[in-house]
Amino acid sequence: MGLLLALIALIVVAVLWWKAFGPKRPGPGRVIGPDDDPDFIWRIGRQSRTDGPAGPVDPSD
């Protein structure tokens, strides 16, 4: 009986050790693409308003 309790305790310690020091999971599960990023959409809108319909002006012309 004592051997069984020692085995269970060893398994519990191993699992806790693995959770604490094992391989780390990647950060947040959801990656925001540029089309879902409000800042990206705001910058594109601002850029299109400042560039005008013909695009940016090339100073070398």
pTM over 0.75: no
**CB proximity list for 14: less than 8 A, separation 6 or greater:** none
Query: CA-to-CA distance for 31 and 14, rounded, in angstroms?
Result: 32
pLDDT in tens, 7-60: 999 999 999 999 998 887 766 666 666 667 778 888 888 887 776 555 565 666
The pLDDT assigned to 4 comes to 95
Query: CA-to-CA distance for 18 and 12, rounded, in angstroms?
Result: 10
The pLDDT assigned to 53 comes to 59
